[in-house]
């Protein structure tokens, strides 16, 4: 398992991680979810023992990382965001080289290579050169290298962020298959990714954990908000400020113009806005062409928790 208590990390005078605590149990996939610069990679690199931390307690598989970084590292498989690979090698040679790095006895190497090749569905490319691999296969090879020594813990930094949707699906399937026997901590700035993969999520923002829970728990927090889609016949430029002036409004966003002259908006509010919307529409003679109440999603909790940082996040439909 992974245990982090009051972790603080400064780069020079600048705090990157400001007192975060979390844990991951065996068999769980836990997500660190947050915008760029939130502190996700820093936290993960600290866990792998690659960078030192300022204060706090960090244990992986019961081993304190600061006191015994080598033993801690032995328990960890790490896939970094950029996944550097030896371009001049073949896939098999690359796996063999990493067996050496991981001190796997020579007589056991082929068996380990066969196992991870099957686990990561690399059979078709094992005799190719690394430089010939597609992005999806490169990521699978990165995962194979991370699990070569059969670590108890997997730390994955943005494992699918540079992949196309089909490759993302394949890598997700792999991670979910691996979770049966491992403790997995992954980071992502893609909300739908966290929803698809993670049993629990920690939302991290400016080096602090600002929310945590299962996807369902976080969604139920967001359910306190009202979310409406409304389409009015009227000038978009005038409708937006009128919406923004409604009492209890949290956020109004232009959505679409499915019909010319009838812009659609998504609005989130603390209160039920159906009556104020009706009053606004009749007073301004902007007929309501469509009004739907929608259930609040994790996007909404993210919006309310991280506000300005939202622009940096990717949200897949």
**Sites of contact with ligand ADP (CB under 6 A):** 11, 16, 34, 36-42
Parallel/antiparallel/unpaired status of strands 183-188 and 226-232: unpaired
In angstroms, the CA 317 to CA 300 distance is 14
In angstroms, the CA 157 to CA 184 distance is 11
Q: Smallest distance from the beta carbon of 2 to ligand ADP, in angstroms?
A: 17
In angstroms, the CA 182 to CA 237 distance is 53
Half-sphere exposure of 1 (CA within 13 A, CB side): 9
Nearer to ligand ADP, 55 or 110 (CB): 55
Nearer to ligand ADP, 30 or 227 (CB): 30
Q: Smallest distance from the beta carbon of 35 to ligand ADP, in angstroms?
A: 7
Q: Smallest distance from the beta carbon of 187 to ligand ADP, in angstroms?
A: 6
Nearer to ligand ADP, 42 or 268 (CB): 42
Contact status, residue 221 vs residue 211, Cβ threshold 8 Å: yes
In angstroms, the CA 33 to CA 30 distance is 9
Nearer to ligand ADP, 154 or 204 (CB): 204
Nearer to ligand ADP, 14 or 275 (CB): 14
In angstroms, the CA 109 to CA 150 distance is 12
In angstroms, the CA 91 to CA 48 distance is 24
Contact status, residue 130 vs residue 157, Cβ threshold 8 Å: no
Q: Which residues pair with 17 in a beta bridge?
A: 9
Q: Smallest distance from the beta carbon of 298 to ligand ADP, in angstroms?
A: 18
Q: Smallest distance from the beta carbon of 202 to ligand ADP, in angstroms?
A: 12
Q: Smallest distance from the beta carbon of 42 to ligand ADP, in angstroms?
A: 3
Nearer to ligand ADP, 117 or 187 (CB): 187
Q: Smallest distance from the beta carbon of 105 to ligand ADP, in angstroms?
A: 36
Residues sharing a CB contact under 8 Å with residue 110, sequence separation 6 or more, in sequence order = none
Nearer to ligand ADP, 272 or 307 (CB): 307
SS (H, E, C) 86-149: CCCCEHHHHHHHHHHHCCCCHHHHHHHHHHHHHHCCCHHHCCCEHHHCCHHHHHHHHHHHHHCC
Q: Smallest distance from the beta carbon of 101 to ligand ADP, in angstroms?
A: 24
DSSP-based three-state secondary structure for 76: strand
Dihedral (Cα; 142, 148, 152, 156), 10-degree rounding: 0
Nearer to ligand ADP, 30 or 252 (CB): 30
């Amino acid at each position: 398992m992974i245990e982090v208590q009051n972790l603080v990390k400064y780069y020079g005078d600048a705090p990157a991680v400001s007192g975060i605590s979390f844990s991951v149990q065996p068999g769980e996939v836990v997500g660190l979810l947050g915008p760029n610069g939130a502190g996700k990679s820093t936290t993960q690199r600290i866990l792998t023992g690659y960078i030192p931390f300022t204060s706090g307690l960090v244990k992986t598989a019961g081993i304190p990382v600061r006191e015994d970084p080598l033993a801690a590292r032995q328990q960890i498989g790490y896939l970094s965001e950029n996944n550097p690979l030896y371009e001049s090698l073949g896939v098999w040679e690359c796996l063999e080289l990493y067996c050496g790095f991981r001190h796997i006895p020579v007589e056991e190497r082929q068996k380990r290579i066969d196992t991870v090749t099957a686990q990561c569905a690399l059979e078709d490319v094992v005799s190719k050169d690394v430089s010939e691999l597609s992005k999806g296969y490169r990521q699978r090879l990165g995962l194979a290298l991370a699990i070569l020594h059969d670590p108890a813990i997997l730390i994955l930094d943005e494992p699918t962020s540079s992949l196309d949707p089909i490759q993302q699906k394949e890598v997700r399937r792999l991670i979910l298959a691996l979770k049966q026997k491992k403790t997995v901590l992954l980071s992502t700035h893609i909300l739908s990714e966290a929803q698809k993969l993670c049993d629990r999520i920690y939302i991290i923002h400016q080096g602090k954990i600002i929310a945590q829970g299962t996807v369902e728990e976080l969604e139920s927090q967001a359910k306190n908000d009202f979310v409406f889609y409304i389409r009015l016949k009227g000038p978009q430029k005038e409708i937006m400020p009128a919406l923004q002036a409604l009492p209890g409004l949290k956020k109004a966003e232009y959505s679409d113009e499915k019909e010319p002259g009838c812009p659609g908006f998504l609005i989130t509010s603390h209160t039920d806005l159906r009556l104020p919307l009706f009053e606004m529409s009749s007073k301004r003679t902007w007929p309501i062409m469509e009004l739907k109440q929608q259930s609040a999603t994790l996007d909404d909790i993210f919006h309310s928790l991280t506000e300005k940082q939202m622009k940096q996040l990717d949200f897949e439909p």
